[in-house]
Amino acid sequence: MPHAMLKPHILQLSSYPDWDQTALDATYTCHHLPLSAPDLIEAIATSGGAGVPSEIIKACPNLKLIAIYGVGYDNIDLSLCAERHIQITNTPDVLTGDCADLAVGMMLAIARQIPSADHHARSGAWTRTSFPLQRRVWGAKAGILGMGRIGQELATRLTGFGIDIAYAARSEKPLPYKYIPDPIALAAHADFLFVTAAATPETRHIVNAATLKALGPDGYLINISRAANVDESALLDALESHQIAGAALDVFDAEPHINPRFAPLPNALLQPHHASATHATRRAMGQLMRDNLAAHFANRPLLTPVL
């Protein structure tokens, strides 16, 4: 192990599990905000949610790499990084299966009202009345908005339920599912509309009042992508007025602070942005982030570059 003074300097903008933090501290001199020595920083370790504020990128003249623990990079100014020749890596693939799993779980939970049924059994209400009938899932129609890695893994799982799958994407893919490129038409087709698209300026509020109106009073929205892909205000209006049957959400505009309008809604299932939050996957994500950092400082090709 080289002397501590010879460790590369990185800026850490996110907290990590102990196994990752121990490895980072052993290999790097980890700086934290407020930044006192910006000239020393050659790489930044962050998360998809935290991103990197543009003022920090501008303040670090020797910055060469941003390593993201997560798949999303919408909270980073890509144009600024390209201009400064700063590379960006993320951790795709290793979290794909977990995200698809949670999407299926959220579909089942909102359609069958599993949390409410649990309360019905625990509270003793079952001794007085039967739990109300709920929505059947198998044989339904699903629309997947965004057919990348997670969308395709989700589709594979949904086929096991005999679900009729359609999708929207930038272009048609060689897949055995119906291609409906217009999000509003996809919503009109679907009983369950899953949002799995990456967040970009083009996808901001791609699920809006018109999309929700097309989804209709028997349709459910399930978002495991980014909050920016859904117009949250329009969604709350649709839930409160029962314009749609319900929504299952893992992401929110101001998370971890959730709009208080969600709290009293029985047709909303709320999750704490934990689609990838399993022990095995978080270990794999941390390893891949650290492998990208190591590749950079060893002048080797990056494993999962996005820029």
Yes or no: say if 156 and 179 are a contact pair by the CB < 8 Å rule.
no
For residue 145, what are the β-bridge partners? 168, 195
Interior/surface letters 230-261, b for 16+ CB within 10 angstroms, e for the rest: bbbebbbebbeeebbbbbbbbbbeeeeebeee
Establish whether 85 is a catalytic residue. no
**Residue tagged active-site, from 226, 282, 290, 296:** 226
**Residue the block writes with tokens 């009938």:** 133
Chain length of the chain: 307
Closest CA to 3 of 24, 29, 23, 21: 29
226 is catalytic: yes
Upper half-sphere CA count for residue 44 (Cβ side, 13 Å) = 31
The residue from 83, 255, 274, 300 that is catalytic is 255
Within a 10 A sphere around the Cβ of 79, how many other Cβ atoms?
10
How far apart are alpha carbons 67 and 283 in whole angstroms? 15
Active site residue 157: no
Two structure tokens written together for 222: 């399930």
Catalytic center residues: 226, 255, 273
